[in-house]
Structure 1
Amino acid sequence: MNAAPQTLTPDERQALSAIADVLIPRFAHMPSASDVELCGPPIDRALGARPDLLATARSLAKQARGSHAEDIVREIEVDDPKTLNAVLQLMAGAYFMLPEVRSILGYAGQERR
């Protein structure tokens, strides 16, 4: 029996990338999810910290194939808020771990006091 891969496939990344741009659009001086290639290495890092979100991300990617990302986000906002919350945690976590995003915000990370 083949075990499911512990990372996202290229198709899953593509589907989630469109959703990520709906959730994290370019705004003022802040880059969008696609500007920082969020669904590449950054999401892998976030999934390393939260492997429990991989199944949800995969399920959402499957649901999103062939649909408009805005429609999927609106749909899960109403019909499946738990999935929306999980995906927001995953994507926001990946986004705010990025050095370039933290630099824009002026946040150097936790410091010992």
Structure 2
Amino acid sequence: MKRRIAREKALQILFSLDTEEYNIETTLEHTLNGEERDTFLLKIVKGVAENQQHIDEKIASNLEKWSMARLAIVEKTLLRIAAYELFYLKDAPESVIINEAIEIAHVFGDEKSGKFINGVLSKMVK
């Protein structure tokens, strides 16, 4: 599975975990729908879930005039995924991780999502 697809599926899984009363295994099964489990996808999903409190603190400290509670779930989830990759995985250049989050925001978010994601993530890596 390509990393872009893994990130998009991670967004869907983590979004579901944030909005429904599912567990990771059930959500993985529904989202993958018989597809093979990808190592990168599993790292992201489990890593974000296990480190969510610390990741949310990092994000919250870089929000201006926003709070975590006010963020749309798509943007919050994308920020969590990118923050996990930036601060825990560290296996891709920061610019690639940020660009991927922006591109996925253009697909799953609204017209302002990409700019918002870029601003928060750019502030986080300074």
Point out the structure with the larger helix share: 2
**Higher relative contact order (CA closer than 8 Å, sequence separation 6+):** 1
Give the TM-score taking structure 1 as reference length: 0.38
Point out the structure with max Rg over C-alpha.
Answer: 1
